[in-house]
Amino acid sequence: MTRNMAEVKLGPVNSIPPGEGRSFAAGTEKIAVFRTRAGAIFATQAQCPHRGGPLADGLVGGTVVMCPLHSWKFDLATGEALFGDCGVKTYPVRVDETGEIILTI
Do residues 31 and 43 lie in contact, with contact meaning Cβ atoms separated by under 8 Å? yes
Report pLDDT for 36: 97
- pLDDT for residue 1: 47
> Which pTM was predicted?
0.92
Domains of the chain: 21-104 (2.102.10.10)
Q: What is the pLDDT of residue 3?
A: 60
Phi, psi of 32 (to 5 degrees): -105, 125
For the chain of 105 residues, list the mean pLDDT of each consecutive stretch of 10. 78 97 94 97 95 94 94 96 89 97 96
Instruction: Compute the distance between CA of residue 52 and CA of residue 2 in angstroms, rounded to an integer.
Output: 28
pLDDT in tens, 29-58: 999 999 999 999 999 999 999 888 999 999
